[in-house]
Homo-oligomer: A and B are copies of this chain.
């Protein structure tokens, strides 16, 4: 039985005819190694953004079902064009929509979750010797409507297909060479990581590393899918994401991640009665605002009032303020916000057994003159909210202090476009 691979190409890798042809050559080369090949494609370049702009011209709040019908067309176009290019290279390719590929989702339009993959048609195509191209980012709901999986959903499509057809590997091709010990745009000697565990990758994706979508990593962990993040511009090995039992060593710290799009909201004059924090977070959840860190200061004396601070994505700040207006007035609280916050995190599976990491992080940031505003931790991550303009300094200081640079240091000619933070 020959090996099976899923290859996923992002939007920049299929942005124009030249790149589509290059991807086609890469796909055909894999097929000619004797592999059974399934390919997942994103929409070309800025297509999704253009479609969203069209919808906004029509409606200020486009119907989600129709938004999915609209957005799902971009990936179908990429697949059809890539299939034409592969056919021209003398191999048979067929493109399938998410629906045709058997990707069944729930009915949550614009952010659907995959429930099941009925991969019969993909298997049939592979058995007939064809290269099977599947439109990423989409599926068909249990009520037979077209759904999309949310931004970056093509990664999840690729991982879900790899699980369904029991592929040896899910290759994610982007315009960066793999997962790095920090954003190479900030840390010039950041190291390409050969292996990262699912747990580390989850923490990294959640704390700002843009190279893999968080849900795709969760899906891969839950189904044991080996991910290989690599460059679509060369043949070098990238970063393999695998289960912790496979990684040979657990470094103390694997990477420093960051994000800059954070806003901090502070409620002052919070009454010292049970349930206030619950009411605040419920109001935010109802408005679909994703709250990250929450810190509540205990009141200094009996009967006095406390402060409650939390961070939200900066784009959600207006929504958050609107959601809190009524409850703030009712309880006599004041709402303040700081829009230019950032977050820096250190992630490492070895941290679990080394209690001194947090202390070192705080010391390093303090010595670099950085004011830590909020802190949150997981067993393998320590995150600090810091002023937005100090994020690069913080990332460099932590990367140096934990000695993360190394032999796999990025080459200067590497493009960084897709390493979104």
Contact = CB atoms under 8 A, between A and B. Distances in A.
Interface in A167-215: none
B51 A77 contact: yes
A88 interface: yes
Interface string A262-299: 00000000000000000000000000000000000000
Interface in A75-118: 76-77, 79-81, 83-85, 87-88, 93-95, 97, 100
A59 interface: yes
Interface residues of A, number: 37
A93 B59 CA distance: 14
Nearest to A16: B57
Nearest to A121: B144
Given A59-B87, A63-B84, A77 B54 contact: yes
A58 B21 contact: yes
A110 to B, nearest CB: 12
A69 B75 CA distance: 11
A314 interface: no
Nearest to A76: B73
A17 interface: yes
A66 interface: yes
Contacts of A397: none
A366 interface: no
A370 interface: no
Which secondary structure dominates where chain A touches chain B? helix
In the complex, the count of this chain's copies comes to 2
Nearest to A61: B88
B80 A69 contact: yes
A17 B62 CA distance: 13
A70 interface: yes
Contacts of A20: 58
Interface in A24-67: 51, 54-55, 57-59, 62-63, 65-67
Interface string A232-274: 0000000000000000000000000000000000000000000
B55 A100 contact: no
Contacts of A59: 84-85, 87-88
Given A59-B85, A70-B77, A73-B77, 5 more contacts: A17-B54, A59-B87, A63-B83, A100-B144, A121-B144
9 contacts: A16-B57, A20-B58, A21-B58, A58-B81, A58-B84, A58-B85, A65-B94, A66-B93, A73-B76
| Top 7 A-B residue pairs of the complex, sorted by shortest distance between their CB atoms | A70-B80, A73-B73, A17-B57, A69-B80, A66-B83, A66-B80, A59-B84
